[in-house]
Amino acid sequence: MVTEQLFTLKTVMGWVAVWANVETLLGLSFGHRTEPQALRLLWKKCHFFEMHALGVGRPKSGWQTDLASRLADFAAGRQVEFENVPLELTHLTNFRRRVVEACRRIPFGETVTYSQLAVRAGSPRAARAVGTTMAQNRFPIVVPCHRVVGADGALRGYSAPRGIVLKQRLLSLERRGSSSSRL
């Protein structure tokens, strides 16, 4: 019995591909121009050959349907939290797991530097390793690596399609969403 599944959805910010099982999110790709591009990047990022054997379907469990709805809302500019989305993190080292968990706690509409995130993850001298972890993030948006910036506040790389352009768009969208939610 196959317990893993793929599903896609089209948002105003592009196609999203989700790989999940009944209990956890296994991987996600965001912001693609086409559904096949979203699926290709997800497969490439997650490195699992079994994914090719899965058909693309619809969300099957309650948390998956909720995730799809939240991703669409986020892309439309609404303030959405993803901190309670269950993630499969067994592929990560303890350090990388701490970085992912610390990144998940960065509030909507705010940014931190790679060095600040390293401190929050308990490894203050590991800013470069934090950057590597963010570049290999399997869960963009859910683990908001777009909220991590350089020491001077400049946007550094972003592994999603359109790179820094998409990162800037996400941060602008969040700043508008967080300021309007405070009114």
Domain count of the chain? 2
51-63 pLDDT, tens per residue?
555 667 777 778 8
pLDDT value for 177: 64
Catalytic status, residue 145: yes
Q: Could you tell me if 174 and 99 lie in one domain?
A: yes
For the segment 71-95, what is each residue's pLDDT rounded down to a tens digit?
A: 999 988 899 999 999 999 999 999 9
- In whole angstroms, give the CA distance from residue 83 to residue 16: 18
Q: Do residue 106 and residue 157 come from a single domain?
A: yes
What's the pLDDT at 183? 32
Q: 50 lies in a domain?
A: yes
Domain range for residue 48? 4-75
Is residue 171 over pLDDT 60?
A: yes
Task: Say yes or no: 103 and 66 in one domain.
Answer: no
Catalytic one of 6, 46, 145, 149: 145
Which tokens go with 51? 């994914």
- CB–CB of 121/99 below 8 Å? yes
The answer to whether position 81 is within a domain reads: no
**Which of the pair, 79 or 182, is modelled with greater confidence?**
79
Q: Is the same domain home to 61 and 19?
A: yes
Residues 98 and 177 occupy one common structural domain: yes
Does some domain include residue 83?
no
Q: What is the pTM of this model?
A: 0.87
Give the C-alpha separation, 103 to 51, whole Å. 27
The mean pLDDT of the chain is: 85
Tell me: do 101 and 164 sit in the same domain: yes
Please check whether residues 121 and 64 belong to one and the same domain: no
Q: What was the pLDDT predicted at 39?
A: 86
Q: Are residues 25 and 68 in the same domain?
A: yes
Q: What is the pLDDT of residues 97-138, one digit of tens each?
A: 999 999 999 999 899 999 999 999 999 999 999 999 999 999
* CATH (domain of 157): 1.10.10.10
